[in-house]
Structure 1
Amino acid sequence: MNAVMTPTAERPLLEVEQLRQSFKVPGGVVSAVADVSFDVRRGETLGLVGESGCGKSTLARSLVHLPGPTAGSVRFDGEETVGASPRRMRKVLRRMQMIFQDPISALNPRRRVKDVIAEGLAIRGVSVAETRRRVEQVMREVGLDPERMGERRPGEFSGGQCQRIAIARAMVLEPELLICDEPVSALDVSVQAQVLNVLEDMRSTRNLAMLFIAHDLSVVRNVSDRVAVMYLGRIVEMGDADEVYRAPAHPYTRALVDSVPDPDPRAPIRDTRLSGELPSPLDPPSGCRFRTRCPMAQPRCAVEEPELGPVSETNGDARTVACHFPLVGAAHDDTATEGASR
């Protein structure tokens, strides 16, 4: 990403550059997130997809300092948060909230719902009358009756209702950026649609920016303006959601897109299996991290790590891809050449 500041009107709300997150474990150091860069504009939804264990949730937690990044830069509205004091970070987090994957465990089971939602306002010192008004308003916005449900505990609600409570708890602070970590993965399909509608209403009425993390590609496509594809701690492709799904440029993205079930029973069956297992982040492959599972890998892939760059210099495609041999312009059939470097 370009480190030069743009005018305030054009500057992204969130700018992430070369973010790293590492953890010491028995046997070495796990590089869970490695040199990840992206931005999120005001009112935009950026979808983040990838297999379980690729670092999506770790990245999300790093943005809100749970814990903070090992290295790199995270700027919110032009202000650097990496290395910021706890007091300064608390002020930033008022404008940047997160919804966690498990809605039930994310809520205090001993507190009443209205108190769970109001906790952030109480910490900020908002008056009792204003707190009551805002809690009741946001509960109605997410489809909860404050009169009947405000006095109950989270354990009395279903998973979908608990997720609505979690959304209300985040939105009562009127954030500008909402980080959604697998917000519907634990819910039934019909409930997923309801929660997604709530998020979309919030986004449209409040000009809310969202980082939407999920492994369900169908969900991500429906809610996102742009999509970033993550593999083993790195972003391998990023661009307009429709373009990424229509013509994947990275072999891993293509495998993910092809794995989405086709509702047409007459559609040909596609072999979407990836060879091999997901490598250990303790000992990632040299060069391209995807090369051990890539049907198009060549000797160069083993020694040279691809950088995230433009898909094409000539056709105006705004997407970026980290691949020495991107699929753009290829026939997109299922007869890719087996790689020589495994």
Structure 2
Amino acid sequence: MHRPSHTSSTLWGAHAPPLQLVVLTGLLGIGGACAAQVAPGVADLAAAQPLPLEAAASAPSPETAGSRGQIEAGVGIAHLKGASGDWRDGYVRAMYRVAPETTVNAELASQGHFHQRGTLGALSVLQDLSPRWFVMGGISGGTADFQYRMRVDLGGYRKWGDERRWVTGVSLMKGLSGDHVHRDVMLRLTAAYYAPAGWIAEGGLALNHSQPGAVNAARGFGVFTWGTRGQDLWSLRVDHGREAYLPAGAGIPAGGSVSFSSTEVIPQWRHWLGKDHGFVASLQYYRNPYYRRTGASVGLFFDF
């Protein structure tokens, strides 16, 4: 049985505690990556994994004078080999620090995947509870079969060490698919290290349970970023693991297309053209036993 693809709406969050330890909650992430994060077990999951350091790189830190937020807009394209329906995406996202302890993130996007087009919207909030603890909450929804019709994310995070350079987190996601039948529950564990030299390393594990069918899937990812804020930041993301179903719109026979492995690699470059604006560009390569996807995206960002 084919299951609709759940390329979810985008909730992305950037948290900037002292020492510029910027943490993305890993809610959702399309935009510059031409991708949206969804639960493992959902079709074409690698395309849907978040880009934690993409948003981290884009979020202004509290030490950046006069910068309380950012707005970004961009487009992405992707070609599928072995499946039908190339991707065409566009997005606008914004982050605003309404108070030193509170950051609000929002996104609106139009996605064309597998011969369908849908509109999605998302809103999330990050809240400091203390110098070491912060929490995240978000809600999102889309109009197409390959998007979640409704999704809710909740998470908690802690900073460790004298300089709080280690950050660990746990989050829970519940999503209802666009067909109003399939449901996902995902537990996500993450850990990140923010080095004094400026580079950042992050890794995580996502465990998902999909219904109907009680299909379980696990997926891991690693992200490394380096460079200088205000000049150039580069990142490389690799993730690998299991997915539960292929998307119904991919044009692939259903036989055997349940619980399979896939891999995705995404390099990204964020460049400042001035002190408060620049561009972001990325490439994507994804493969599973049934098809391959190659894509590129570009966007402009403005700090304010």
- Structure of larger gyration radius: 1
Is the TM-score greater than 0.5? no
* Structure (1 or 2) with the greater helix fraction: 1
Which TM-score applies when normalising by structure 1? 0.30
Q: Name whichever structure is richer in strand by fraction.
A: 2
